[in-house]
Amino acid sequence: MPAPSLFHEISGLPTEQKNPDTTRIDTASVEEILHLINDNDTRVPLAVREELPAIAAAVECIVGCFKRGGRLIYVGAGTSGRLGVVDASECPPTYGTPASMVQALIAGGREAMFTAQEGAEDKPEAGAADLWALDIDANDVVCGIAASGRTPYVLGALKAASRSGAATILVTTTNREKLAELGITADYLICPNVGPEVIMGSTRMKSGTAQKLVLNMLTTASMVRLGKTYGNVMIDLQMTNAKLVERAKRIVMDITGADYDEAARVLGLTGGHVKTALVMLLGNHDLENAQKRLEAAQGFVRLALESQS
């Protein structure tokens, strides 16, 4: 009796192959196990590097989306979904973005962040419904995250996104050839080839690491292109806790040379807006003029300071 087609589909995925380096891992010492894991992990950044042209194209798409007032929406299940939630949740405190700008959907909902909801990933209609609930439109970008590339929840969301006119990205550690064989596509495919996992099928390992690196790149590069850094310093953070309040003061002090009290005073005048404080101190502008310059420069501090107006 032939095996079901799903069995063949999953068995043929790169993420489900045996790693020849670790076939005797169950007889290894603890230190040997750690070396095997570490040796394999070193290949991940190199695999991501091979995908930089594809990542760059996706970033350009995301930046265009943000400039139109659109959103980046991650969609994933299990480890992939959790990585999307983490990346989205860190954008507001780091870059001062509204919570709606980068969002994440995970199969099984909020509970799946803490407790595995394995069956939830098998429902493409759930992915589509969750996406439609966000009133998706052509200004948005939907980024599916799936090590296998075939997660039904993710594919359901991507199809719904395409029907709405939204751009689609798929981050996966399955190669393009296998995706084509399975009839899976997106406007932007990002497919780092990390090789078989140390433990066969445990995609929370190398695949998860690769996905984390890619998501970091997508949002970080996009935020830099939106003027949310000055040099390599984050300058659009939100002062939402004591640590971030002190970090904001340090940033202002480091960039402008102001002392602690002056940095605190000017930040107080701006309502905690680091960018405005920088323009005031570096350009010797009052609050109103600094705000106008930043608005004219679309939030870029350097442009606001160089402007002759």
In this prediction, residue 58 has a pLDDT band, given cuts at 50, 70 and 90, of very high
pLDDT in tens, 158-175: 999 999 999 999 999 999
Among candidate residues 122, 118, 117, 89, the one with its CA nearest the CA of residue 104:
89
The pLDDT of residue 2: 44
Q: Where in the chain is the domain with CATH 1.10.8.1080?
A: 229-306
Contacts 24+ apart (CB under 8 A), 266-275: 267/239, 272/238, 272/239, 272/245, 272/248, 274/235, 274/236, 274/237, 274/248, 275/235, 275/236, 275/299, 275/301, 275/304
Task: Please compute the mean of the pLDDT values over residues 70-75 and round it to a whole number.
Answer: 98
Q: How confident is the model at residue 307 (pLDDT cuts 50, 70, 90)?
A: confident
Domain 10-225 grouped into CATH 3.30.70.20 = no
Which is the catalytic residue, given 121, 181, 262, 295? 121
90 is catalytic: yes
**Nearest in space to 122 (alpha carbons), one of 147, 156, 148, 145:** 156
The pairing of strands 72-76 and 102-106 is parallel
Closest C-alpha to 235, from 304, 289, 295, 301 = 301
Instruction: Please tell me whether residue 76 adopts helix, strand or coil conformation.
Output: strand
Mean pLDDT confidence for 222-234: 95
Q: Is 32 a catalytic residue?
A: no
Q: Report the pLDDT value the prediction gives residue 132, as an integer from 0 to 100.
A: 96
Show Cβ contacts of residue 256 under 8 Å, excluding neighbours closer than 6 positions.
Answer: 263, 277, 278, 281, 282
Boundaries of CATH 3.40.50.10490 in the chain?
A: 10-225
Domain range 229-306, its CATH number among 3.65.10.10, 3.40.50.300, 1.10.8.1080, 3.40.109.10: 1.10.8.1080
pTM value?
Answer: 0.91
| pLDDT value at residue 57 | 98
Which residue in 90, 181, 246, 288 is the catalytic one? 90
